[in-house]
Amino acid sequence: MASRRDFLQQGARLCALGVIGAPALASAQELQPPPDLFDAQLLDLDFWVKPRTISLVRPQSGERARVLYWKDGEVIDSAYQELCHILRDVNGRATAPIDPKLFEVLWGTQAFIARYGMTQPLEILSGYRTEASNRRLVEEGVPAARKSLHMVGKAADIRIASLNEEVLGGLIRSFRQGGVGYYYRSGPKGGWIHADTGLNRTWKG
Ligand SMILES: [Zn+2]
């Protein structure tokens, strides 16, 4: 797919020049390439075979991590453990194995937008949740499903600074690895995108 890559590079260049991209009223940081550039199904093999480094922040605990977790076709176990720790239940103080497919989606999302010069870390607002933590959220009226995939290490609520919800959600959807929920809110606290490795579906929360 060499022509595809040429096209992507050309797209990125055009965006950098301001030829295409954000509408006039959007903030300059909101890069909006044409929607077809966000189809992860069209990524070439090169993208998937190179070493994978993921950069995460956990606003709730103030943690930051930049972790090379996959190389030569294999997950690096110590790095995987570190990522599971970052995605732990911060409230319930519990760690659980996270579905490696979820890391694939998170990394893929980050690596994809890095092609457009967007290298900010991915914010993890919620990862694994104990049943008790999940129940508490439901009781507090926070949007959370009673049988949430967070409780089995198959979901994360994420945000990427300066990337709007439609672009982030659309990109994650294009990986076709599970569900995508849009929980964006207007206001200073914003919202998040829920990504899971369950059934392929989309909803607005
Ligand atoms: Zn969620």
How many A from CA of 53 to the centre of ligand 1?
Answer: 23
Per-residue model confidence as pLDDT tens digits over 148-158: 999 999 999 99
How many A from CA of 202 to the centre of ligand 1?
Answer: 12
Give 74: exposed, middle or buried? Use CB within 10 Å, 0-12, 13-18, 19+.
exposed
How many A from CA of 25 to the centre of ligand 1?
Answer: 30
How many A from CA of 141 to the centre of ligand 1?
Answer: 14
Select the more confidently predicted residue: 61 or 2.
61
Q: What is the rounded CA–CA span in Å between residue 11 and residue 20?
A: 8
How many A from CA of 143 to the centre of ligand 1?
Answer: 8
Asked if residue 114 has pLDDT above 60, the reply is yes
How many A from CA of 169 to the centre of ligand 1?
Answer: 13
Q: How far is CA 100 from the centre of its chain?
A: 13
How many A from CA of 131 to the centre of ligand 1?
Answer: 13
CB 183 within 8 A of CB 202: no
Alpha carbon of 71 to those of 97, 105, 166: distances in Å? 19, 16, 31
Per-residue tokens: 175: 């990986």
Average pLDDT over residues 6-19: 41
pLDDT of residue 32: 56
Average pLDDT over residues 8-22: 41
Per-residue model confidence as pLDDT tens digits over 26-45: 444 555 555 555 778 888 88
The total number of residues shown for the chain amounts to 205
How many A from CA of 29 to the centre of ligand 1?
Answer: 26
Give the amino acid at 16: A
Asked if residue 144 has pLDDT above 80, the reply is yes
Round the average pLDDT of the chain to a whole number and report it: 84
Average pLDDT over residues 139-160: 93
How many A from CA of 163 to the centre of ligand 1?
Answer: 18
At a CB cut-off of 8 Å and minimum separation 6, what does 16 contact?
117
